Structure 1
């Protein structure tokens, strides 16, 4: 069986490649010329250069290969210009799917990695309730809007029987991840920064559990269905930083809690600095809305009942594994 993994050089994609190889699949890792292959060293990997911005190039690159499965993990989470989210996350998905359909590719399952962010700040009134698929998405970030538009395109193909399945993970962490790593570095430097005084319910999912869900979706996911992914627990805003602090063994820590308006000023500065320098800042407009959102609960029962999904890593175990990897690999 041939499996195509887009975004193969990325955080989640590289782990999907490893698991697919372990399962005996013939893996085709979609990369760009500029993509790092630091985590794609296995000699069994077949590489294919795909330009998601060019449907014709996609057809030409794939014309001599038959893919049984496709996992579309490619995408961007940070951009200098908001239109780039839609060019890459939305139009890139449309181009890939249209290329596969125009070639009559006999794909058995197409798994799209979306995000809980497609819903935005729903069920924000306390006590917070789990976000479910029946809720109406109202994304307040360019990233979330680009993902929901890609989902809407896939929904339009339901009458044609295109075999897609959507996974919507909450915050994904683990080895090789760089955004949560910023918190690890901050705590390593004895500073923990949090925003807002209203209670915040957070959810997390370890990267290996996302990969587990991908494989389950390929095996027997219900076509057209969408599944939230988390470890099944809800955490306070401080739990994550406390666990990092514990694993780092830092003797002391300064905790700074700031009102939301301070975050707004910081992210505005980061947004404009990024546009001036041409370098993407982690402190941008999207980050403001993400950190401002209070409710990140989500209902994973459909993933459990339909996919057989069973989270293997609770937050304490996952943080321990991630911090150990950062230490072992010289990141901290």
Structure 2
């Protein structure tokens, strides 16, 4: 099957491309720079440029499109609205009407969310649902794996930088991280079999953690022992807006809103429908952090 993948050079995109190639598909790897991907056809694709999207789709002539492009932090013209909403609109307009379409959203996607990220993901989902295409939507939780940003950088820096580890509030916010291998397996299965047409699936792992437990897990994986000190939400509510004047704030207002909301859901029915291996964060984290250090 000929498959066009947007965001193919990213953390999740690279894993999805590998999974599709391993299954024998012809993959067109779309990225803004047209970066080469071993075994795939590289194609320049900027989702914020309708002409770029049309040209990439014309080159690939895909039987299926996997749309993965997303950002966590807004920078300059790369806003949530422009990338997630307008970008999705541009891709949907270019997808052949007979093609399968598989969309990466996010757990917590909701047009009414206090998080700009989650609200934009919710608006993008609405575009997909009204597109008339044969679609499947996936909503991953925090994703871990080789090259991930949250566990490999953000959480590592949080527990490593100071003599103490700051904890937001009481640390009870729940999360259910999922491995990038599980995510890639789900996307490949939806493309390959057409399973889950018109459905939206949460993608979560086998284990649920509170934010405090994630901090403790990260410390153990790094071989560190430090006190974890709660920071009252009232203080965080004052401090986070002030941090935004920094060139690279340790946490954005949007990330803060998402952390307070938590990020969890049952791993069924996706686990059974797509035969997901359900890798465990506790098993993989020491190796992942060692890779980041090297």
Conserved 8 A contact 1:264-1:288: no
Distance 1:265 1:318 in 2: 36
1:133 equivalent in structure 2: none
Q: TM-score of the superposition, structure 1-length normalised?
A: 0.80
In 2, Cα distance between equivalents of 1:73 and 1:52: 10
Q: Select which of 279, 286, 290 maps to 1:320.
A: 286
Number of paired residues?
291
Distance in 2 (alpha carbons) for counterparts of 1:75 and 1:282 = 20
The worse-fitting range, judged by mean Cα deviation, of 177-186 and 5-14 is: 177-186
1:56 aligns with 2:47: no
Q: 2:94 aligns with which of 55, 79, 99?
A: 99
Match of 1:30 in 2: 30
Q: How do residues 178-197 of structure 1 correspond to structure 2 at under 5 angstroms?
A: 178-180=149-151, 181-189=153-161, 191-197=164-170
Is 1:17 aligned with 2:25? no
CA contact (8 A) 2:67 2:102 kept: yes
Deviations 1:266-306 (A, max 9, x none): 321232334xxxxx64511101211222x43313322134x
Query: Which of 193, 196, 210 pairs up with 1:236?
Result: 210
2: distance between equivalents of 1:233 and 1:188?
Answer: 24
Q: Matched residues in 2 for 1:315 and 1:198: separation?
A: 18
In structure 2, C-alpha distance between the alignment counterparts of 1:58 and 1:184, rounded to whole Å: 36
Which sections of structure 2, spanning at least 5 residues, go unmatched?
none
- Whether the aligned pair in 1 keeps the contact of 2:4 and 2:57 (CA below 8 Å) is no
Backbone CA RMSD of aligned residues:
2.3
Determine the C-alpha separation between the residues in 2 that align with 1:87 and 1:93.
Answer: 9
CA contact (8 A) 2:222 2:286 kept: no
Q: 238, 247, 252: which one pairs with 1:284? A: 252
Q: Deviations over 1:235-260 (max 9, x none)?
A: 1222222222222222x313221011
Query: Does the 8 Å contact 1:113/1:167 carry over to 2?
Result: yes
Change (3 A) 1:83 1:6: closer
Contact 2:29 2:37 in 1 (8 A): no
Please say if 1:84 is aligned against 2:104.
no
> Within 2, Cα distance between the matches of 1:99 and 1:310?
30
Name the SS for the 2:103 alignment partner. Answer: strand
Is 1:266 the equivalent of 2:239? yes
Alignment gaps of 5+ in structure 1: 120-136, 275-279
